[in-house]
Homo-oligomer: A and B are copies of this chain.
Amino acid sequence: MDVDIGNALASAASPGVPRSYLDRLDARVADAHERIERGMADGEFGYAALNLPERVDTGAIRDAVAPLDGAEAVLTVGIGGSALGAATLTDALDTEGEAYYLDNVDPAQVSDLLDDLDLESTAVNVVSRSGTTAETLANFLVVRDAYEARDVDWTERTLVTTGESGNLRDLADEHDLPVLPVPEGVPGRFSALSTVGLAPAAILGVDVETVVEGARRERESLAGSLYETPAYAYGAIAYALDARGANANVAMPYHESLETYAEWYAQLHAESLGKDGLGQTPVRALGATDQHSQLQLYRAGPNDKLVTFVRARDGPDVPIPEADLDGLDYLADSTLGGLRDAEFEATEASLADVGLPNVRVTIDRVDAASVGGLLYGMEAAVVLAGELYDVETFTQPAVEWGKEVARDLLRGADALDEKETLRVTRE
């Protein structure tokens, strides 16, 4: 990926980062890069994620998904990092068949989806690092029941991705299911480029080797200066802008197929950097659609946001058929892609015009290699930012409190005392 941070400099934006500050920050980037390289070399927890392009065994993925060959759809049962990376890839890239995700615990969604699916031709991909994730196991039990109720052999259609032990591992052993290991030392939100993220894409015919190759090329660009490393330029500018009041981080791809990418980035960013009272709020947006929704606020509201555009240099296009339409002469001889590109340029200029900091991330195409590079680059950006913030990038301690309470409630603990109530109800 390439990154243009010009519109986030103090010469263009307010808040903006002075070039002289960036030059000084670059010394910290060099130190952080050393730390990151050391973590990678030692396979330290979290840093190990950045080794995935060299470590992931796509041959093993191919072997594990071989028994599912011919599936016309894949239903992935997983939540958070066990679903989002995979969904980002299957939504972004052309697939042979449909990818579905049960990444919530919602009775209406589960029954509607199971009613609609032809289970005979649907593979199930169940993913949980621990093998004990409540939402995932509960959903999987319901899915398994549906296969049995319709006399379809789920054991011939199920792939398990999990750790060395736990319920899912036992289940796989018992029914002789294909199993993929979760990568060691890699938090869920950093697992898009591992077995976890790649398996559903592989089942649906995506060239996962090329995804990995794109990530590997991005990995090779990591160097000790933000001026040489697109990923570090992005991580450093986001960090520096947050300190100057840009406390929202808007991911705004200009491709419908990258909508899930923005959701993936929101998780990566929030869980990695949202700690110790720090962290920008990630916001998902989509161009051109959100020009008709969020742009009013971005341009005329508080200058407290960094807007990150993501777009491809090249891609498929569709000509706009000729028609004699009043006031729409400017569409003549254009294409849908041309219209989209003009809207992108205008929106970028429109934010620059009011000094709202924005960054342009460019990839070659929305294809396997470029998307692999984009995901790797953004992971490296977040790791770099974590070093600059000096937070524990790879843990998520704050989610444990609620998990424990939910378990207690299900075990029959009394309903929680509400902290404070002020109910306003309709007469």
Contacts and interface: CB of A to CB of B under 8 A. Distances in A.
A7 to B, nearest CB: 6
A281 B248 contact: yes
Interface in A264-322: 266-267, 270-271, 273-279, 281-284, 286-289, 291-302, 304-305, 315-318, 320-321
A86 to B, nearest CB: 14
A220 B426 CA distance: 9
Interface in A308-341: 315-318, 320-321, 323, 325-331, 334-340
A300 B415 contact: no
A279 B301 contact: yes
A352 interface: yes
B315 A107 contact: yes
Nearest to A322: B141
A334 B398 CA distance: 25
Given A3-B423, A340-B105, A343-B406, A277 B256 contact: no
A138 to B, nearest CB: 5
B353 A401 contact: yes
Contact of A401 (B189, B287, B299): B299
Copies in the complex: 2
Contacts of A3: 423-425
Interface string A84-115: 10000000000000000001111111110000
A25 interface: no
Interface stretch (A129-137, A190-198, A205-213): A129-137
| Residue among A105, A229, A421, A427 with most chain B CB within 10 A | A105
A176 interface: no
Interface in A214-258: 217-218, 220-221, 226-230, 233, 247-248, 255-257
A365 to B, nearest CB: 10
Given A289-B80, A301-B275, A352 B9 contact: no
Given A217-B426, A279-B301, A295 B410 contact: no
A161 B355 CA distance: 37
Contacts of A135: 288, 339, 343
Contacts of A329: 411
Nearest to A250: B281
A117 interface: no
Given A228-B424, A301-B275, A330 B256 contact: no
A419 interface: yes
Nearest to A274: B297
A110 B281 contact: no
A235 to B, nearest CB: 11
Contacts of A266: 293-294
A324 to B, nearest CB: 9
Contacts of A404: 346
A336 B11 contact: no
Contacts of A160: none
Nearest to A303: B277
Given A135-B288, A347-B402, A424-B229, A256 B326 contact: no
A4 interface: yes
10 contacts: A4-B424, A107-B337, A141-B321, A142-B318, A142-B321, A167-B325, A274-B294, A274-B300, A275-B296, A346-B404
Top 3 nearest A-B pairs (CB, nearest first) are: A274-B297, A80-B292, A12-B420
Given A106-B340, A188-B292, A228-B427, 13 more contacts: A2-B424, A2-B426, A4-B423, A104-B286, A104-B287, A109-B257, A142-B336, A144-B321, A221-B427, A271-B297, A278-B302, A329-B411, A342-B409
